[in-house]
Chain A
Amino acid sequence: MIVAEQKPLAEIKSMLGEAKRVLVVGCGTCVTVCFAGGTKEVAVLASTLRMSTHLDSKETVVDEVVVQRQCEWEYIDPLLATLDQYDLVVSLGCGVGVQTLAERFPKIRVVPGLNTMFMGLPTKTGECEERCQACGNCVLDQTGGVCPISRCSKQLLNGPCGGSQNGKCEINQDVPCAWQLIWERLTNLGRQQELLKVQPPKDWSTSRNGGPRRIVREDLQLPEGYRD
């Protein structure tokens, strides 16, 4: 899932400008799971914005709503009926959610309430860790299901490096060495001999190096005249 964290209240407030009516829009998918933009977080932000703007002697109205998924047209389209009541939308979705709202509703200003951090998972309650960088060329089959791109600080394909000490990465004692994890995993599977193979340089053209990415599935595309 996509992991995000809320921006400081002062930063969000600075984005409000002279807006008199604000709608805080949450998302019921990834950012709900990482406790950044779900129903509770939307309620807390709306409440703090109402109180904070009130203390600034502003008459700002802050309402709140949560859509199931901010990154798909059909889930955000029902908002259109009420959006003309507002001067500004604060999105508590990830960067994709913010852009989906902005793209679908060109007449209203949309600002981000979250900083989108990474793709990962909740390792325990209140903690999320990065697991994928969307490099577009997955190598997990060669590394025992442990990603060296997102979990090795140097993104090495032939690790570990000399900075691996007692299973930890040299950048921080709290960061496990990805290549230590890969070694342990492949040893448990009895496949450590696979690490003898030297990996060639990775093809990064599928990653961000090739600019914004796009996937087209012609078999799924609708014929001319049909509405997406």
Chain B
Amino acid sequence: MSDTQQISDLKIVAFCCQYCAYKAADLAGSLRLQYPPEFRIIQVPCTGRLDTVEVLHAFEEGADGVVTLGCMPGDCHFLEGNLRARRRVEWVKKVLAEVGLEAERVEMYNLSSAMGDKFAEYATEMTERIRKLGPSPLRRSGKQVAETPVAGVS
């Protein structure tokens, strides 16, 4: 496998707020700005919707990095969803360190819907960071972490 192919194998899940980052991604496209193809966008109604367990599940399912992109502090459509998301991201960093993964694989950025260039910049910055870290150790064995994510009686 060539280096180029290895790079394209990386998966960075980007949870983007629909009011800012998702629109900024749209703007980046309109401006014909390039950002790395490893950056996979998932639209969320607000970054405050994001829970710790969803970030962990992303890693379990094979993500090499997870990014949360929310509104500028003070500009959240739901007042403080972005501030809560940042606290959760900081918490997830600690959880990942306990698990044995690099805390740098998770990050949060703030931007507005008018910042298409910043979106491309953050996407490039995070992808470069993950390229340096390499694929997630959870993927290196080539086996899926869980047989089934959830089994329950409840």
Contact = CB atoms under 8 A, between A and B. Distances in A.
User: Do chains A and B interact in one complex?
Assistant: yes
Interface of A: 8-10, 28, 39-40, 43-44, 47-48, 50-52, 54-55, 57, 61-68, 78-79, 81-82
Given A63-B150, A66-B154, A8 B99 contact: no
Contacts of B143: 54
A51 B101 CA distance: 9
B53 A43 contact: yes
Interface residues of chain A: helix, strand, loop or mixed (majority)? helix
Interface stretch (B36-44, B55-63, B119-127): B55-63
B151 interface: yes
A9 B56 CA distance: 14
B53 A50 contact: no
B146 A50 contact: yes
Contact of A51 (B59, B151, B154): B59
A22 to B, nearest CB: 11
A40 B51 contact: yes
B152 A65 contact: yes
A77 to B, nearest CB: 10
B120 to A, nearest CB: 31
A48 B99 contact: yes
Contacts of A43: 53, 56, 150
Nearest to A67: B154
A54 B154 contact: no
22 contacts: A40-B53, A43-B53, A43-B150, A44-B53, A47-B53, A51-B59, A51-B60, A51-B100, A52-B100, A54-B145, A55-B138, A57-B141, A61-B146, A62-B146, A63-B150, A63-B151, A63-B152, A64-B151, A65-B151, A65-B154, A67-B154, A78-B153
B73 interface: no
Interface in B35-83: 51-53, 56-57, 59-60
Given A9-B98, A10-B98, A57-B141, A51 B56 contact: yes
A42 B64 CA distance: 23
Interface of B: 51-53, 56-57, 59-60, 95, 98-101, 137-138, 141, 143, 145-148, 150-154
A12 to B, nearest CB: 10
B87 to A, nearest CB: 10
Contacts of B145: 50-51, 54
Given A51-B100, A65-B153, 6 more contacts: A40-B53, A44-B52, A44-B56, A55-B99, A55-B138, A68-B154
Given A44-B56, A47-B53, A62-B146, A54 B153 contact: no
The 8 closest A-B pairs by CB, nearest first: A63-B151, A47-B56, A43-B53, A9-B98, A66-B154, A65-B152, A55-B100, A52-B99
B137 A64 contact: no
B132 to A, nearest CB: 20
A62 to B, nearest CB: 7
